Structure 1
Amino acid sequence: MPTYYPELHQRVRRQAELLPGLYGDLDFDSQPYRTTTNPDDVSALRSKASTRAKLLADEDAVELISTATWLGDVVSDSYAALMGQYSVSGLIGMLKTACRKGIDAVDDAPPELAAFIADMEATPDWLDMDLVRKGARDSQVPMALLAPFVVRGAFIATFLNTYAALPMALTGALSGKRSARRVNETTSFFTITTMPGALDRHGPGFEAAAMVRLMHSMVRFNALKRSPKWDIGVYGLPIPQVDQMPAGMINLFVMAMDARRQGRTEFSPSERAQVEFTRYRCVLLGLPEELLPTTPAGVIRVFSARAALLRDDFDDATCGEMVRSTMSAYLRQENTLPERIADAVEKSYSKLFFVRMFSGGRRDVAAKMGVTIGAGDYARVALTAPFVYGRLMVVQRAARTPGLRRITNAYTLRLLKRRLAAYGTAEYTSDIADYTPAGSAA
């Protein structure tokens, strides 16, 4: 019996009671093949064997990851399960109306939608909302000036493991031109949540979070109920919360690693505000408090523990194809020479970011995963780095200067709005008709 996370343990098991049609057949007392605590098995943790041994000896961490591997999103899943009664567009339309105008504005709103909205409206008392708002403001500058250059590299890191990547592979959403749409949708989501008031009850960020949750739930429902490819014994639950955590908190992991390299055990005040902002954004996406630590060591620990228990596998037909498709995708709305140059520069930065953060700085390891970096990439980064990082530092300093803060904020918001226009309109949908027989079971 779990001893460290009894509330999370009960939350997982209540899923079968609340939504038996989707969760009733799952054995929460077992672990899928994807999860391994055998020290002889190769895991997704790219570190020394001694590091993994310490994590496996940490019963607290092992229990957390094992339990969260079975945690879905029963509130959103219940609404997605109405796909047999409503069209996908109908479900999306009702959700958008409820986000923008309230549940009472939806004619004959199903109780599942009311429960979904109520769950998102219930802000946990362990969150500091004043700090959340400060964190959103402090996140605007890096989101406007740095994130566009590295987001692709961070995005592909979410499907470097067959067991975690298969849900997205099944949807066919990361092949061909759909890759560009998904990358832009992801970037648009993270960008819009930093805008003033975006995460307020009727803000666009609140709605975007609801749409992301619904998309994930549609994928989860279709994978479990409509895809013959999904093997629960191998893959477990599609898109469990433990797999959503890395994408939702990748910015905190980067900050935590920087803090550790600098010998710091605590986040700075501005970083701590960004942590709280990120935690609230993750709560809106359905993540539990247990997966949302507040210290550099805590963030690194939960990321490392997940990797230590996730069995290593990189199926080229699943992961490799998605990496290559995403890296080659053209994300710009126009095909002009300046836009093509900007696209090439962004790809070079994303490659370098990926190599630094996810392949231990080794180009050969990155190349095996589909990310090849050459002299041209280094040249593009070298030529543009003074502008990219120089502008970032200047704007960050100006934002902290009382006499320049207002004009700097106005400049940042204008840039964020231009970014959002360039990303296009996010759809956040999943349709079983698009599903492909990707991936290979172990």
Structure 2
Amino acid sequence: MTATEPLTAVPGGPAAGACPTRFKYWERKDLPHWQRRRRAFRRLTGHDLFPTDEQARMLCEDQFAGDPVAERFVADVFFGEIGHRRGRQLLDRALDHGVDAVPEAPESMRALFAELETVPDWVDRDLVEAGAAVWRRWGTMLFSVAGAITLEIYTEGAVAMPLSLAGGYAGDNALRRFLETSKFWIDVSEPGQLFEPRSQARKTAMQVRVMHVAVRKRVGDHPEWDHDAWGLPISQTYEQMTQIGGAVAPALMLWLAGVQTTPKEMRALIHFNRYMGHLLGVKPRWAPTTIVEQLQVLAMSTAARSYDSGPAGKELIESFPAAFAPREGQRGLKRLRAAYNHRIYSAYCALWMAPSTRRLYDMPPAFPWILIIAARWPLMTAVELVRRVPGLGGVHAAAMDRHRRGWHAAQMDGREAEFDASSALRR
């Protein structure tokens, strides 16, 4: 069976649009409670709550699609005669000096870098920069909202199993990998860096892309992975969901914490995340490019949930707030900082997880710490108003950027992000 071959013909769904068996969209989209939600959404917005059937079909099929260009490179180099250690050295040299500085580079590596260095015609550089500026303005709030809202999708085996098998976001590794992801967010949102050929942003994006492919290969070959049920590990659809998780979803959620993002800024975020996704090898059949389309994809994925991640999802979800708790050996200011982070991230999880999801897991108490978020809401709102005063927006953004860098450096405590593609699965 090929990666894009339909698996089933679901009654009521387009014949060519079959989904992995655990993605229950076609069976559930016409249930009464979803029909009520569709009517309410149409009255409010004039649009359907769900994508068109053709768009939904493409999202379903993309759950069996990967990243062929990067996969050929990884198979050639990392899993071939060159091996992981030497392959990483070649990759880093090409990222630092250009692929022409690697005369022994195989054709698959040259094809990968040709794709990296080609800016698609649809890209609006000014809009990309405007979206990156929003991430910088959010500061550490990006880290908190992105980390917390991601827990919702960990209920799904298609997402939780690759992360659980790789071990990066579970148990004691949860904080380390989250901080690596935070480093990625910082790097790619630096001004102008996504378009600079030798920038740290592009280097980090390529390292993450290669890491995803290596994990996809290992997990896809693992006996616990069910291709019919979940499609391809780290598929195009779920990678695209990550881009939505950096655009409209957090923009709306942050209003609950007093951070206001306008529709114009959301449109810039969508474009920025789409180009960032391109650098990561995310090239879906259909990319939602409007606020409504991103909401439709979120609604579709919510309707399709099967809550089948079991112990893997439980470990991932419960590991996230626990990762910020004080660690053995921490003293003084470091311990106080860790204690605060643990409590405020527990509150963020309560704020941005659905209560019905949170009740399924053993999560730390949010009260009274959530009162901190409520108490500072007026201040955050005032800051949002002040930053719109001419001349003050740049000052605010610079301060938030410095704060996120300082927070990340304190958490890393001298360590460096590795984005390692060589690690074996933990079981």
Could you say whether these structures have the same fold, taking a TM-score greater than 0.5 normalized by the shorter chain as the test? yes
The number of residue pairs the alignment matches comes to 396
Question: 1:351 offset after TM fit, Å?
Answer: 3.7
Deviation at 1:259, TM superposition (A): 11
In 1, the alpha carbon distance for the partners of 2:270 and 2:118 equals 19
The reply to whether residue 217 of structure 1 matches residue 209 of structure 2 is no
Compute the displacement of 1:256 (Å): 6.2
Structure 1 residues 150 and 405, CA gap change in structure 2 (3 angstroms): closer
Q: 2:23 aligns with which of 16, 35, 41?
A: 35
Which is further off, 127-136 or 332-341?
332-341
Is residue 369 from structure 1 mapped to residue 357 from structure 2 by the alignment?
A: no
- What's the counterpart of residue 145 of structure 2? 150
Cα offset for 1:402? 4.1
Match of 2:107 in 1: 111
Q: Which amino acid in 1 is paired with 2:409?
A: A
Question: Does residue 390 of structure 1 match 2:379?
Answer: yes
The yes-or-no answer on 1:425 pairing with 2:416 is yes
Query: What is the distance in 2 between the residues matched to 1:124 and 1:130?
Result: 14
Residue of structure 1 in register with 2:14 after alignment: none
C-alpha separation between the residues in 2 aligned to 1:275 and 1:40? Answer: 28
Q: Measure, in 2, the Cα distance between the counterparts of 1:431 and 1:278.
A: 27
Find out whether 1:183 has 2:178 as its counterpart.
yes
What one-letter code is carried by the residue in structure 1 that aligns with 2:403?
L
Q: Distance in 1 between matches of 2:263 and 2:177?
A: 33
Paired AA for residue 418 in structure 1: G
Distance in 1, Cα, partners of 2:207 & 2:159: 21
Bigger Cα displacement from structure 2, 423-432 vs 78-87: 423-432
Give me the CA root mean square deviation.
3.3
Maintained 8 Å contact 2:194/2:202 = yes
Residue number among 279, 293, 297 corresponding to 2:274 in the alignment: 279
Larger mean Cα displacement after TM superposition, 189-198 or 250-259? 250-259
Q: Deviations over 1:139-180 (max 9, x none)?
A: 2110x2422443431343342212221111111223332111
Q: What secondary structure does 2:341 align onto?
A: helix
Are 1:75 and 2:97 matched, yes or no? no
CA gap of 1:314–1:146, structure 2 versus 1, over 3 A, is: same
Q: Distance in 2 between matches of 1:206 and 1:217?
A: 17
| TM superposition shift of 1:104 | 0.7
Q: What is the Cα deviation at residue 250 of structure 1?
A: 1.3
For the structure 1 residues 241 and 267, does the alpha-carbon distance in structure 2 shift closer, same or farther, using more than 3 Å as the test? farther
Aligned residue runs from structure 1 range 29-428, under 5 A: 29-30=6-7, 31-39=19-27, 48=34, 50-51=36-37, 58-82=52-76, 83-142=79-138, 144-200=139-195, 201-225=197-221, 227-254=222-249, 257=252, 268-288=263-283, 290-315=285-310, 317-330=311-324, 335-359=330-354, 362=355, 365-382=357-374, 385=376, 390=379, 393-394=382-383, 399-404=387-392, 407-422=395-410, 423=412, 424-428=415-419
CA-to-partner distance for each residue in 1:13-52, whole Å, 9 max, x for gaps? xxxxxxxxxxx74352224322334536999xxx746448
Question: Quick one: structure 1 residues 130 and 332, their matched pair in 2 at CA, closer, same or farther if it must change by over 3 Å?
Answer: farther
Q: Give the Å deviation of 1:123.
A: 1.4
TM-score normalized with structure 2 length: 0.81
Instruction: Give 3-state SS (helix, strand or coil) of 2:27's partner.
Output: coil
Q: Which amino acid aligns with 2:363?
A: V
Decide whether the 8 Å contact of 1:332 with 1:343 is kept in 2: yes
User: How much has 1:419 moved relative to structure 2?
Assistant: 3.6
* Alpha carbons of structure 1 residues 288 and 434: separation in structure 2 relative to 1, 3 Å: closer
Displacement after TM superposition at 1:209 (Å):
1.0
Aligned mates of 1:64, 1:429 — CA distance in 2:
31
Contact 2:4 2:61 in 1 (8 A): no
TM-score by length of 1: 0.78
Distance 1:33 1:289 in 2: 20
- Give 1:375 deviation, angstroms: 2.2
Deviation at 1:74, TM superposition (A): 0.8
Which amino acid is the alignment partner of residue 274 of structure 2? R
1:219 aligned partner, one-letter code: V
Query: Structure 1 regions of 5+ residues with no counterpart?
Result: 1-23, 437-442
Q: Deviations over 1:243-269 (max 9, x none)?
A: 1122222132336646999xxxx9633
Look up the match of 1:14.
none
